[in-house]
Structure 1
Amino acid sequence: MTSNFPGISSSPMISVMSAIQLAWTHRLIWATSRLLVNYPEPYRSQILDYLFMPNFGASLHILKVEIGGDGQSTDGTEPSHMHYENDENYFRGYEWWLMKEAKKRNPNIKLIGLPWAFPGWIGRGQNWPYNHPDVTAYYIVSWILGAKQYHNLDIDYIGIWNERSFSSKYIKLLRYTLDKQGLQRVRIIASDNMWEPISFFMMFDCELHQVVDIIGAHYPGTRTVPNALATQKKLWASEDYSTFNDEVGAGCWARILNQNYVNGNMTSTIAWNLVASYYEDLPFGRDGLMTAQEPWSGYYAVEGPIWITAHTTQFTHPGWHYLQVDGRLEHGGSYVALTDGLGNLTIIIETMTYRHSQCIRPPLLPFIVLPQKATFYLKGSFVSKFLCVSHLLHFFSLCFLSLQVHEGMFSLNLDVDEVYTLTTLTTGRKGTYPDPPQSKPFPSNYKDDFNIRNPPFSEAPHFADQTGVFEYFVNTSDPGDHIFTLRQVVVQRPITWASDADQAISIIGDFKWVNVSITCDVYIEHLGNGGVFIAGRVNNGGIYVRHSKGLFFWVFADGTYQVTGDLSGKEVLMKGMSGVRARVWHTLTLNLKGSSASGSLNGYPLWENVTLSETSHGWAAIGTRSFEFAQFDNFHIEAS
């Protein structure tokens, strides 16, 4: 195969495209960085360096974060900055922290915000954010303003609603509201779903065409559609990858990073998810660029997708231009070429085979890639360039091999399942740290009295909210010994993205646990139908949390209790009177051993000899009967 460059192309002469921003990055959407914030130092900083530090690891160009909406977004819930209409707090959750850490390492990183869910008050009783578009626009713009006012963060791009319907009226009103608040620089991405119908509507609605800056599609399979191309807008794979981070996942990432541009003219590819820092048995476990799911041990793993990313991000920067080349190698594989317009050139080549590069979605049609010799011709200002070669297997220094370009020509022998970067840059390296601590399971004896003195409204270590939001709380109303507690604070069902449970639930621990004893002090605030539970062997979370099975020990404000085999409460195994009252602290204990279960209230046996039909396993959990205020304290697990 031969290619000619003025740039690079399989055609004799080609021209450089107009300025196209390059942005290869990743997103922590869907509560997938929940455990990262609880990592001890220095391991937390090391993980962040591998993700964001320029010329060290993944060197990400863009960070896309969830605008927390109190609802389930695949692997958990993230708190909103406005739980209620008259409530504003720009310190909830870990997204602010993560954005600041990314900016600290790379001040030039671009930031994107996108909502998955919205707090219930926006819908005015309906599961729809567009009935009052002015309210929704105000809510989103307040998040952008809060990012700047409280964290000095400039949000560069804003989305509409992840993988859900869009409203042209809302998009236009969002642009108007942004401009009215002096946020003209914030660009709009729509619609974070499929290429259609947003492209079609933009072709016939001049105002919509004007206010949408980027068309973002999810999992496009490296392809676009004619309408999207006809808009002449920037096209982004605004969510992609979503694949287990083993060798096949790395191959998937390498292939689509190149071929999204080669086949689909997409100039940015954003991977879900940033770092697999959530319990692995939640949906899409380990579908991150690297793995960091053990804050209790400090263990983390730098996976292949980190170095696949580095082959592009360490040798290009946002603002570089793609050269308009064919990009298809004669015997399979692809290449792209980019320049900064100042004389620098970077070429990324991938030869991923079908078996080595299948992404989780969409399905990939079979293809063949063979070993080959590729010959390239440089033209124009690139004729006399000296190129350093970084090879996937040798990403230890900038130049594992140097190429002297002779009269604008060079050749390279390419094997299959390889990635090469050829560049004029003199930066880039494979950053390293000493090995982290050894992997360990979740502690078998774990206590939390929530007295860490973290700020109110932040989250307790290792708890992963699946429906509802559980925050540190300072109890000032007759607290007794319970001054610092964990409180469930969402009292209205949010505008959901997934099928959230009707109960609020937060999980913790080891999914393999079978025999456990769980103790927790509980406080029902709702005088009517209020109720709380503790649970063991919880077998589902994330988007499947509604269907969770396990053993749930409930107490209610009306003085009754239930033992159920599921979160919904439909599978009742035992029930009776408990004497529990609202606004009084009580201590619940749940014991699970083999096929037998028993429960105590305030240290006295309340029920026993519940026989389980099968000996399952799963997390421990706490939660509430509905979306209601309730508090928890002195949580203790013993597993054997």
Structure 2
Amino acid sequence: MRTAPRALLALLSLCLALLTAPTAATAAPRIPGTAITVDGNSPGRTFDGVGAISGGGGNSRLLLDYPEPQRSQILDYLFKPGYGAALQILKVEIGGDTNSTDGAEASIEHSRGSIDCSSGYEWWLMAQAKARNPGIKLYGLSWGAPGWIGNGNFWSQDMVDYLTNWLGCAKQHGLTIDYLGGWNERNYNASWYENLHSTLAARGFTRTKVVGADSFSWDVATAMQNDPALKSAIDIVGSHYPCGYTSTMTNCATSPDALATGKRLWASENGSEDADTGAAPIARGVNRGYLDGKMTAFINWPVVAALYPNLGFNSMGLVTANEPWSGAYTVGRSTWAIAQTTQFTAPGWQYLDTASGYLAGDRANGSYVSYASPDRSAWSTVLETMDAGVAQTVTLDTAGGLPGGTLHVWSSDFSYPTAAGRLVRGPDLTAVDGSYQLTLQPGRMYTVTTTTGQGPGTATGPQRAPLALPYRDSLAGTGTGKEARYFSAMNGAFQTAPCAGGRSGNCLRQQAPTTPIRWTDESADQPYTIMGDTSWSDYTVGVDALLQQSGTVDLLGRVGTQGRNNNGLDAYRLRVGDDGAWSILKSDTSWNFTTLAAGTVQALGLNTWHHLSLDFQGSTITARLDSTTLATVNDGDYGAGQIGLGTGGYYPAQFSRLTITAHPTAPLDGVYHLVNANSGQLLDAQDQGTSDGTPVIQWAANGGANQQWRLTGTGDGYYVLTGVASGKVLDVPGGTSLPGTQLQLWTPNGGTGQQWQVVPADSGHYTLRARSDGDLADVQGASLSLGAQAIQWPANGGANQSWQLEKVE
């Protein structure tokens, strides 16, 4: 029994609290009030906007395949004024056929001189953003580039020409690119920037301003101070993560040289935070970037998490949208952290320096920044109290010709996991003796404004659902140059093209002919593309393949976790060459390959179609080529995953007529112990609790019914896990999507936070995926300690997210 020690500890804590409780004479400290005069005559820089990034890479890919109306709803939450994030800048990747974090975006020019302006999906996204907000600013940046450029040298005339070709494509799409960068996070080349600037002017792209250097420091500003030509060539100095990478963004900084340039200074990439937990850092960073470093734009990476959950940055963005087949999506709290500024300002407004600062002069209390419209007919003050411990008051006065009258108040609560966290209209403020007073609660953002027309969107997505099998796709796509439905390229360029080998219609073709100029440093950079549901377990996948040049084609199955920046992949693959050599391979997240079987058949030749298939049943894997069984092997390391297609190098190959058929699997209904693969401890109701809200933890086996869980299928691929001792179910509190939320027991209510996908993982283990948001049941911090919290967390491939099901009855 564990109740007695914990009860004693609780009693001692209560006694200590009573002894040390503040009396009237020793009241808890209060934060002094803050007086703010919002003065239209204040100096201040010009506000350039808050935006987000599509690219770096593939993070928007699945959004294109979302059904209506969900796709439009997501786009509205991102770009529509007065609805959601109301983004003011959209920065996009200029595709280079190479992995740029969680995917590869297609180039417009795979080979020199062969330009396809329809290539890729960023044109579509920019057009959708412009349709919702015509005033949004567009910004292009390269992460990599096709290999023909400069014979592998990015800093070349070829690259300048390539960028102007891309700008020409934008013009064909009716888009004007406002800002253009160099090479993402690869420092700078002064003469190249000077050439870019002069070439843009010579070719008529005078409206496009150059941003340098989109790297992790302000070093380019120092160089600009010593190089007048470079200073003239760069219009905006942009730095990445000036508030710290994946940080709380409590402190932000520029440099004396950056300030001395007199140029606009931007946090041209910031964020890299989860859609929910990133809200508080964004709330600080947008304000403090200006207060600490006079940065006039904040650009969040990325715009949306529309990528598969087995990829490294699967929860980063403003909206999570990783199930196009179901239409499910969730709007993250980060959306509202941005909306508190964007819905109440516009690029071209002016910062009011005398009405911006830290509450009560201490950054621990929070910050405030004020903005005024150019004609001084409107103003807004944005305040954040992310780190404050108690409530505090602010008093506002207006001066310098700014309007007074009734002021409107909107707030978002990020103080705890189950807080609403979205834009809420509060009571209006009216002046008393010429001043306005507002009480600020801790952990919140507030906007006081004279503007109107704001509000939170009301659309919600449907519940999550597996991608049903059987699944078939001709791979003809929706048009030449597009990716096939649900496929997401990780390296290379998989786009539809006229079929070869005498077959009519379109097929999926690997288009990149040479190794690109890479951004990532993966040791195995061969092209491949993935698709499907990570919960698929026992199935047969088949596809027709054709090689147009000598090489190999790959069919992948049970595709699981990908190493960060594509530095490995848990998967099985059948590899077949035109010479007839074949192998069954297993790869891991460090790109170690194990050969499970190999051999040779009659040469396949070129420009002829052949059928490849992989069959998975438990640990048995069978590979077939045409009508011949190549081998059957046994390996149980990967129990479930997606499918994929690939080539052994950068050369053309085609794929057609994909089929995926499921094998019947036995239901898991029954009573189990759930044993964590990392710690060996059991999923446990803390202190044998049976009431609503009882925390769920890990604990050593003790034979208690509070460690037994009854799995009951819902009939659509999910299970309810009921505690045998309590009759209550494993529950995500409030169905929140906030990572790190501790799991609990709760009375059954049919909610998606009480439904779990039980997915085979490795070596007979399973993951438990919450239907509410797709996060996994996880032991916090991979702890080995008794009593460590069971939480929800995005998939990361860790053993602490893997559970053995030991049948009890």
Query: In the aligned structure 1, how far is the partner of 2:115 from the partner of 2:442?
Result: 54
The answer for the alignment partner of 2:479 in structure 1 is 455
Partner SS state of residue 358, structure 2: coil
| Pairwise CA distance, 1:545 | 2.8
Change (3 A) 1:313 1:596: same
Which of these residues, 192, 197, 205, is aligned with residue 214 of structure 2?
192
Match of 1:625 among 643, 648, 660: 648
Alpha-carbon distance change, 53 to 613 in structure 1, aligned in 2, over 3 angstroms: closer
- Determine if contact 2:620/2:635 at 8 Å carries over to the other structure: yes
Distance 2:512 2:498 in 1: 17
Distance in 2 (alpha carbons) for counterparts of 1:542 and 1:33: 19
After TM superposition, list the pairs within 5 Å mapping 1:246-325 onto structure 2: 246=276, 248-325=277-354
Distance 1:381 1:406, change over 3 A: farther
Aligned to 2:369: 336
- Give distance in 2, aligned partners of 1:577 and 1:569: 23
Distance 2:179 2:627 in 1: 54
Structure 1 206/369 Cα, relative in aligned 2: closer, same or farther at 3 Å?
farther
CA distance in 2, matches of 1:512, 1:297: 14
SS at match of 2:218: coil
CA deviation digits over 1:433-464, x for unaligned, max 9? Answer: 3x332211223322111245x22111101111
Q: Distance in 2 between matches of 1:110 and 1:41?
A: 26
Partners of 1:242 and 1:287 within 8 A in 2: yes
Question: Contact conserved, 1:346 with 1:421, CA < 8 A, in 2?
Answer: yes
**Would you say the 8 A contact 2:411–2:424 is kept in 1?**
no
Alpha-carbon distance, 1:590 to partner: 0.4
Larger mean Cα displacement after TM superposition, 562-571 or 498-507: 562-571
Structure 2 partner of 1:512 = 535
1:105 to 110, 117, 132: 132
Alignment equivalent of 1:225, drawn from 225, 231, 255: 255
Q: Does 1:59 align with 2:81?
A: no
- Residue 348 (structure 1) aligns with: 382
1:445 aligns with 2:470: yes
Q: Deviations over 1:236-290 (max 9, x none)?
A: 11111111112x2211221211111122211110011111111022111110101
1:479 corresponds to which of 474, 499, 502: 502
Cα distance in 2 for residues equivalent to 1:4 and 1:614? 62
Aligned to 2:116: 89
Query: In the alignment, does 2:201 pair up with 1:171?
Result: no
Aligned partner of residue 208 in structure 1, secondary structure: helix
C-alpha distance in structure 2 between counterparts of 1:391 and 1:281, whole Å: 34
The answer on whether the counterparts of 2:99 and 2:565 sit within 8 Å (CA) in structure 1 is no
Aligned to 1:400: 426
Amino acid at match of 1:624: T
- C-alpha change, 1:303 and 1:396, in structure 2 (3 Å) is closer
Q: Classify 1:196/1:505 alpha carbon distance in 2 versus 1 (closer, same or farther; 3 Å).
A: same
Whole-Å Cα distance in 1 between the matches of residues 563 and 236 of structure 2? 29
Give CA-to-partner distance per residue, 1:451-495, whole Å, 9 cap, x none. Answer: 45x2211110111100111111112x5424x53211111120000
In 1, the alpha carbon distance for the partners of 2:183 and 2:235 equals 16
Q: Residues 397 and 79 (structure 1 numbering): CA distance in 2 closer, same or farther, change over 3 Å?
A: closer
Task: Quote the residue 1:362 is aligned against.
Answer: none
1:415 maps to which of 416, 436, 441? 441
CA contact (8 A) 1:383 1:405 kept: no
- Residue 22 of structure 1, CA deviation: 3.0
Give, in angstroms, the shift of residue 549 of structure 1: 3.1
- Secondary structure at the counterpart of residue 659 of structure 2: strand
| CA drift at 1:536 | 1.1
Distance 1:456-1:423 versus aligned 2 partners, 3 A rule: same
The equivalent residue for 1:11 is none
Matched residue SS, 1:419: strand
Greater mean alpha carbon deviation, residues 403-412 or residues 498-507: 403-412
Alignment-derived partner of residue 586 in structure 2:
565
Determine the structure 1 residue equivalent to 2:143.
116
SS of residue paired to 1:119: coil
* TM-aligned CA distance change 1:16 to 1:120, over 3 Å: same
Given that residues 412 and 423 in structure 2 are in contact (C-alpha distance below 8 angstroms), is that contact kept between their aligned partners in structure 1? no
Shift of 1:419: 0.8
Offset of 1:370 from its aligned partner? 3.5
- The question of whether the paired residues in 2 share the 8 Å contact of 1:564 and 1:570 is answered with yes
- Asked if the contact 2:371–2:379 (Cα under 8 Å) also holds between the matched residues in 1, the reply is yes
| Residues 76 and 542, structure 1, Cα contact 8 Å, conserved in 2 | no
- C-alpha change, 1:234 and 1:52, in structure 2 (3 Å) is same
Partner of 1:77: 104
Q: Is the 8 A contact 1:486 1:631 kept in 2?
A: yes
Between the aligned partners of 2:35 and 2:379, the Cα distance in structure 1 is 15
The 5 Å alignment of 1:607-618 reads: 607-608=631-632, 610-612=633-635, 614-618=637-641
Match of 1:602 in 2: 626
| Greater Cα shift, 173-182 or 531-540 | 531-540
User: Contact between 1:398 and 1:426, CA under 8 Å: does it hold in 2?
Assistant: no
Q: Distance in 1 between matches of 2:147 and 2:422?
A: 50
1:182 to 184, 204, 214: 204
In the superposition, relative to structure 1, how do residues 466 and 107 fare at CA in structure 2: closer, same or farther (>3 Å)? same
Change (3 A) 1:399 1:615: closer
Describe the superposition over 1:405-438 as per-residue Cα deviations: whole angstroms up to 9, x where unpaired: 33442222111111111000122122223x3322
Give the whole-Å Cα distance in 1 for the aligned partners of 2:571 and 2:425. Answer: 55
Q: 2:44 maps to what in 1?
A: 17
Deviation readout 1:16-65 (Å, 9 max, x if unpaired): 225x1331111111111100011111211111111111112111111100
SS in 1 for 2:212: strand
- Hey, what's the Cα distance between the residues in 2 that align with 1:335 and 1:595? 58
Structure 1 unaligned residues grouped into runs of 5+: 9-13, 354-367
The one of 589, 605, 619 aligned to 1:581: 605
Structure 1 position 542, deviation (Å): 7.0
Q: CA deviation at 1:182?
A: 1.3
CA offset at residue 379 of structure 1? 2.6
- For the 8 Å contact 1:2–1:377, the answer to whether it is kept is no
Q: How far apart are the structure 2 equivalents of 1:396 and 1:588?
A: 49
Within the candidate set 159, 162, 165, 1:136 is matched to: 159
TM-score by length of 1: 0.91
Q: Supply the AA of the counterpart residue of 1:173.
A: N
Which residue is 1:47 aligned to? 74
State yes or no: 1:389 paired with 2:389.
no
| Aligned with residue 228 of structure 2, among 206, 209, 213 | 206
Deviation at 1:564, TM superposition (A): 1.1
Distance 1:464 1:64 in 2: 20
- Cα distance between partner residues in 1 of 2:493 and 2:213: 27
**Superposition CA RMSD, Å:** 2.0
Q: Which runs of 5+ in 2 are unaligned?
A: 1-32, 244-251, 414-419, 664-809
Q: Cα 1:564–1:474, aligned 2, differ >3 Å: closer, same or farther?
A: same
Compared CA separation, residues 383 and 457, structure 1 to 2 (3 A): closer
- Give the Cα separation in 2 of the matches to 1:309 and 1:46: 18
Give the distance between the partners of 2:423 and 2:161, measured in 1 at CA.
Answer: 48
Residue 494 of structure 1 is matched in structure 2 by 516
Alpha-carbon deviation of 1:638?
Answer: 2.5
Task: Give the C-alpha shift of residue 156 in structure 1.
Answer: 0.2
The 3 A distance-change label for structure 1 pair 6 and 251 is: closer
Question: In 1, Cα distance between the equivalents of 2:240 and 2:662?
Answer: 41
Task: Give the CA deviation at 1:169.
Answer: 0.5
SS in 1 for 2:109: coil
User: 8 Å contact 1:502–1:627 — kept in the other structure?
Assistant: no
Deviation at 1:6, TM superposition (A): 4.7
1:636 counterpart letter in structure 2: T
Looking at both structures, which has the greater relative contact order when contacts are Cα pairs under 8 Å and sequence separation is at least 6? 1
Paired letter, 1:411:
Q
How far apart in 1 are the matches of 2:476 and 2:323?
A: 22
